Structure 1
Amino acid sequence: MSDQSSAEDLWRPEDAQARRDYWENVHDGKDVDGVSWWQSVPGLSLGLVDESGVDPSDPVIDVGAGWSTLADHLLERGYTDVTAIDLSRTALDTVRERVGDLGRHLTLDVADVLDLDTGRRYALWHDRAVYHFLTEQDERDDYRASLQRGLRPGGWFVVATFGPDGPTTCSGLPIVRYTHDELVAEFPGYTLHGTAGEDHLTPWGTNQQFTAVLLRAPDA
């Protein structure tokens, strides 16, 4: 694992309600381009989803979706079973309004990925910029438990974090940066099928280095 945030003394939410309140506050009252991670076209994510070869009729989940347009693009491509979860109801309401009639193929839930059990198992799990907020080992363990519950045997997993030259904080919170190898090592038993990266240009013109991998879960 690359060096943990140099701002380890920053306040961070310690429980589910604090996390929910924090991220609701991040989204409430802002325009979509008021957050650093905003992308009109999530090219890195779409490329790895395409590489997985998952069928558009298979269930796909985007965790920590926020205002992401990934769901929009998947629906426009003909995906018919897309779920997006986030801690912010405001963010998900914005997505619902944006997708319009295509929303009949989209499930939106206010939920915490650290304690997620939708009662379903997905063919593909997507996470852009949630995992790097998990600075504590118990949080990462909880995430992996949710992933195991929610991903089908042999299912696909796309995860992206800040890279080793990326920022050390995001939205006022400390993060952990990863190389490709370090990110793969976080998910023992999963098989690496692809890597990607990008220098994301924020709405105000600064660069954020992202590292991403495409992994496949064990068959059983």
Structure 2
Amino acid sequence: MPDISPARPDDAESRSAYWEAVHDGKGVDAVSWWQSVPGLSLELVDAARLGTAEPILDVGAGWSTLVDHLVERGYRDLTAIDLSATALRTVRERLGPSGDQVVLQVADVLNLRLGKRFALWHDRAVFHFLTEPDERSDYLASMERSLRPDGFAVVATFGPDGPLTCSGLPIVRYTHLELAAQFSGYQLLSTSGEDHVTPWGSTQQFTAVLLRRVG
């Protein structure tokens, strides 16, 4: 399955500092994951067929434009979290008045306690950074606290032919079935993927799943 290399931030403080440094002082096109239109994410959110009043959570949002597009589609209860305050400030400025109701919060997905249950959990490229079993366990605990019993999860990672690292950190690559198998108590509803073209023209294979919580 994965190809993992050693050194990496392994506590909340070092993770926060790392991702703040990734975003600070850079343009959006300086990061490999940038997309003006997050087509894969929108495809799977659409497949969940949620009403526009349903609460949606985007974890590890960074500079993602997902909330922008969901606002345009009429969704009214949106929350995005990230470890980088700089990234979230950029999103706030970009959204302008149309995004006044969007909650943008600095938070760690490995210890997430928002005091609210969501109808859909969205993660594009956070889970694949979790190279240790205890990190994946903490992530799943955060998801369980945050997601309704019948809620949906959209999770995307690098696929089996994707890069071995992202933003200088080791990652875990997954096939669709390997990724779905990480989520005990969730039903696999559909799979998808894309060959994402970075701002500098290289290609990254992404694997994505739509899950529904049943446990």
Q: Distance in 2 between matches of 1:105 and 1:42?
A: 21
> Which secondary structure state, in structure 1, belongs to the residue aligned with residue 57 of structure 2?
strand
Aligned-pair distance for 1:105? Answer: 2.1
Scaled by the length of structure 2, the TM-score of the pair is 0.99
CA deviations 1:89-127 (Å, max 9, x no partner) are 000000000011122220000000000010000000000
Q: How many angstroms apart in 1 are the aligned matches of 2:61 and 2:3?
A: 24
Matched letter for residue 78 of structure 1: G
Moved more, 101-110 or 132-141: 101-110
**Is this contact kept in 2: 1:75–1:105, CA < 8 A?**
no
Q: Which residue of 1 aligns with 2:47?
A: 51
Q: Is 1:155 aligned with 2:132?
A: no
- Secondary structure of the residue aligned to 2:119 is strand
Whole-Å separation in 2 of the counterparts to 1:137 and 1:3: 13
Structure 2 counterpart SS, 1:177: coil
Q: 5+ unaligned residues in a row in structure 1: which ranges?
A: none
TM-superposition CA deviations, 1:165-192 (whole Å, max 9, x none): 0000000000000000000000011001
The equivalent of 2:64 in structure 1 is 68
User: 1:21 maps to what in 2?
Assistant: 17
- Is 1:40 the counterpart of 2:39 in the alignment? no
Q: Distance in 2 between matches of 1:47 and 1:110?
A: 26
Does residue 3 (structure 1) correspond to residue 5 (structure 2)? The answer is no
Following the alignment from structure 1 to structure 2, what is the Cα–Cα distance between the partners of residues 20 and 3?
24
Aligned-pair Cα RMSD in Å:
0.7
User: Aligned runs of 1:77-156 on 2, under 5 Å?
Assistant: 77-156=73-152
Q: Which runs of 4+ in 1 moved over 3 A?
A: none
Deviation, 1:24, is: 0.1
Given residue 206 of structure 1, which amino acid in structure 2 is its aligned partner? S
Alpha-carbon distance between aligned partners in 1 of 2:93 and 2:20, rounded to the nearest angstrom? 17
Q: Percent identity over the alignment?
A: 67
- Structural mapping, 1:181-220, within 5 Å: 181-218=177-214
In structure 2, the gaps of 5 or more residues are none
1:52 shift after superposition: 0.3
Partner of 2:171: 175
Whole-angstrom distance in 2 between the partners of 1:105 and 1:73: 14
Aligned residues: 215
| TM-score for the superposition, normalised by structure 1 | 0.96
- How far does the alpha carbon of each residue in 1:8-63 deviate from its partner, in whole angstroms, 9 at most, with x for none? 13x20010000000000000010001000000000000000000001110100000
> Take 2:3 and 2:125, find their aligned partners in 1: how far apart are those partners?
15
- The aligned amino acid for 2:169 is L
**SS of 1:197's equivalent?**
strand
Contact 2:2 2:171 survives alignment (8 Å): no
